[in-house]
Amino acid sequence: MGTRAKNSGKKAASSTATSAEQTEITVEKTKSAAKVDTKKKAVAKSKKGKKGSVSKIKNPETICYKKKDVSLKNLLKDYEMLKKGSPALNKFQRKAIRRYHREEALKPYQAELIRMQKCLENNNRRMIILFEGRDAAGKGGTIRRVTRYMNEKHYRVVAMAKPTEYEKTQWFFQKYIAQLPRGGEVVLFDRSWYNRAVVEPVFGFCTPEEYSNFMRGVVGFEKDLVRQGTIFVKLYFSVVREEQAKRFKRRKTDPLRQWKLSEIDVQAQDRWDDFTNQKYEMLKKTHTNIAPWTIIRSNNKHEARLNAMKVILNAVPYDRGNVDLDFVPDPNIVLSGAREKEIMDAQRIKLGSFVG
């Protein structure tokens, strides 16, 4: 009897212990599952935050820049305005910014022009650059950019006035010969002896005989210049009729440009076809291998100035300062005189007349 009671007590104790163990295991499993579930929720929350949920971390109100506190709110506002094109700036301010960037883009080439000028000086070489083209084609603006940083002692800009009665009695080239460069000097002609090829015959400022004599003699005159060591560049700035009219209109209304408007300019649009015919004859008879013409499309003033600088720099064999700079002219802006003549020939055959 006592033995049976002892055995039943042992069994009850064993059963109680087993039940407690099971309960403890169940609690441990529950805790483990809760931990796993908590981790899963944390990971899911983290992923959700990465996908675009708003962070609860607050940005600082100010940041330190150059030892000064700058409002982050204002910086972000300015950034948004810049992305949208700065609507707060008026058209004059936006134009000033564009002009600044265009002028900055020219500076590497202007630095090369200084090196080129130094090379000419050291080697006692002479250089002539002719700037020809229609009125308001951008010749003057290009000359100012080309010479802006050059040494004034070693270049001259020549813009010949109307010939005097005394000069009319001289050999036509005589007044121009007096302006030719010495050794180490660059002379830039803002219009040149080619006035007689285009402007003078259009307006009747010379006789047909004077025009004919000039066209026969100019090629030999230029060959002599080149043969005797002068570096010779002939640039013709070409602008379309609509753009020229737009620039004339601006000259009429802009007090800073009104001085550029002359009686000849007023008639330039009416005599457009006459000028085009004279341009064609000039290219046909005076574009030579020794003294070729280079045509600059100047509807875009900045591109015309930039590419004119490239043409001038490529005409002189000097040591480049910036070898990484692009010295290749844009083929859409710069054409040879021969190519321009071909285009004009094609226009005449196809349309019966020249376009420009």
Identify which of 276, 271, 182, 198 has the alpha carbon closest to the alpha carbon of residue 234: 198
Q: Which is more confidently placed, 2 or 292?
A: 292
180 token code pair: 């030719």
pLDDT at 276: 95
Q: Assess if residue 33 is contained within a domain.
A: no
Predicted confidence (pLDDT) per residue in 5-60, tens digit: 445 554 444 554 455 555 555 546 555 555 555 555 555 555 555 544 545 677 78
Per-residue pLDDT band at 265 (split at 50, 70, 90): confident
In this predicted structure, what is the pLDDT of residue 5? Answer: 47
pLDDT tens column, 318-329: 999 999 999 999
CA dist 74 to 60, 69, 79, 87, Å? 12, 12, 9, 16
Spatial separation of the C-alpha atoms in residues 152 and 133, rounded to whole Å = 25
Domain that includes residue 227, residue range: 97-351
Domain assignment of residue 103, yes or no = yes
First to last CA, the chain: 134
Q: Is residue 272 part of a domain?
A: yes
Structural domain contains residue 124 = yes
Residues 116, 168 contacting (CB under 8 angstroms): no
CATH number at residue 320: 3.40.50.300
pLDDT tens-place string over residues 206-242: 999 999 999 999 999 999 999 999 999 999 999 999 9
Beta bridge partners of 188: 129, 157
Asked if residues 238 and 244 have their Cβ atoms less than 8 Å apart, the reply is no
The structural domain count of the chain equals: 1
Which pTM does this prediction carry? 0.75
- Residue 198 belongs to some domain of the structure: yes
Tokens of 65: 């820049």
Name the residue with tokens 């040494």.
151
The tens digit of pLDDT for each residue in 109-159 reads 999 999 999 999 999 999 999 999 999 999 999 999 999 999 999 999 999
Mean of the pLDDT values across residues 282-311? 97
Cα–Cα distance measured from residue 270 to residue 55, given in angstroms and rounded to the nearest whole number: 69
